[in-house]
Amino acid sequence: MAGSRPRRGDFVRATTSVADTIPPGQLFTAEGGARFCSIAIGTCGALCAGLFILTPDAGGVLEARKVAWVHGTSLGGESAGFPEMPGVSVELLRKAAGRKESLISKDLLVQPIWTGRADSHEATAPPAAFLVLQAASRQRKGGVTTGSFTGVDRQRARIICLLAALKEEARAASSQSEVLARLSQAISQETTVEGKLRRMTGFLSEATQSDHACVWLQPTGHGGPMRLRAVSGDQGDRVGPVEAPADTQAMHADLRRIARFDAPAAVALSALPWLKDILGIGLADLGDAAIVTPLRRNQEPVGVAISATAPGTSEHDAATMALERIGLLRALADQIVITSEIALTSVDAQDRIRRYSLLAAIGEIALSKLGMEIMLDSILMRVQDHFDATSVYLYLLGSERSALRTRSVHRPDYASGSPFIEVKAHLISNDKRIGTLQVRRTLASPFSGPDHETLSQVADQVALSLTTSARYQLQASLAVLDALTDLPNRRSAEGAFDRELDRARQEQVSLSIALLDIDHFKGINDTYGHETGDAVLRDIARMFKVQVRATDHISRWGGEEFLILLPGSSRDAAQRVCERIRHSASLVAVRAASDKVIPVTASLGGATF
Render 514-563 in DSSP notation, one character per residue.
Answer: EEEEETTHHHHHHHH-HHHHHHHHHHHHHHHHHHS-TT-EEEEEETTEEE
pLDDT of 333 over the 80 cut? yes
411-436: average pLDDT: 84
pLDDT of 441 over the 80 cut? yes
The pLDDT value recorded for residue 168 is: 67
Mean pLDDT of the chain: 78
What's the pLDDT band for 609 if we cut at 50, 70, 90? very high
pLDDT of 244 over the 70 cut? no
| Residue 506: DSSP 8-state | H
**CA-wise closest residue to 306 among 284, 286, 324, 282:** 286
The pLDDT value recorded for residue 109 is: 92
- Least confident residue range of 225-229, 338-342, 505-509: 338-342
**CA-wise closest residue to 193 among 351, 359, 342:** 342
The pLDDT value recorded for residue 263 is: 82
Q: In this predicted model, which residue has the larger pLDDT, 178 or 4? A: 178
The b-or-e profile of 456-470 (16+ CB within 10 A means b, else e) is eebbbbbbbbbeebe
The answer to whether residues 267 and 289 touch, using CB atoms and an 8 Å cutoff, is yes
pLDDT of 77 over the 50 cut? no
The pLDDT value recorded for residue 241 is: 40
The answer to whether residues 405 and 396 touch, using CB atoms and an 8 Å cutoff, is yes
Most confidently predicted of 46-55, 191-200, 207-216, 351-360: 46-55
The answer to whether residues 33 and 27 touch, using CB atoms and an 8 Å cutoff, is yes
The pLDDT tens digits of the residues spanning 539-563 come to 888 888 777 777 888 888 888 899 9
Tell me which H or E stretch contains 9: helix 8-20
User: How many Å apart are CA 561 and CA 516, to the nearest integer?
Assistant: 6
Most confidently predicted of 10-24, 179-193, 560-574: 560-574
The pLDDT tens digits of the residues spanning 187-235 come to 777 777 777 888 888 888 887 877 788 888 876 544 567 888 888 764 4
User: How many Å apart are CA 555 and CA 548, to the nearest integer?
Assistant: 12
The pLDDT tens digits of the residues spanning 381-390 come to 888 888 888 9
580-596: average pLDDT: 81
The b-or-e profile of 510-522 (16+ CB within 10 A means b, else e) is ebbbbebebeebe
Most confidently predicted of 171-175, 333-337, 367-371: 333-337
Q: Are β-strands 432-441 and 511-518 bridged in parallel, bridged antiparallel, or unpaired?
A: unpaired
The answer to whether residues 153 and 44 touch, using CB atoms and an 8 Å cutoff, is yes
Q: In this predicted model, which residue has the larger pLDDT, 580 or 219? A: 580
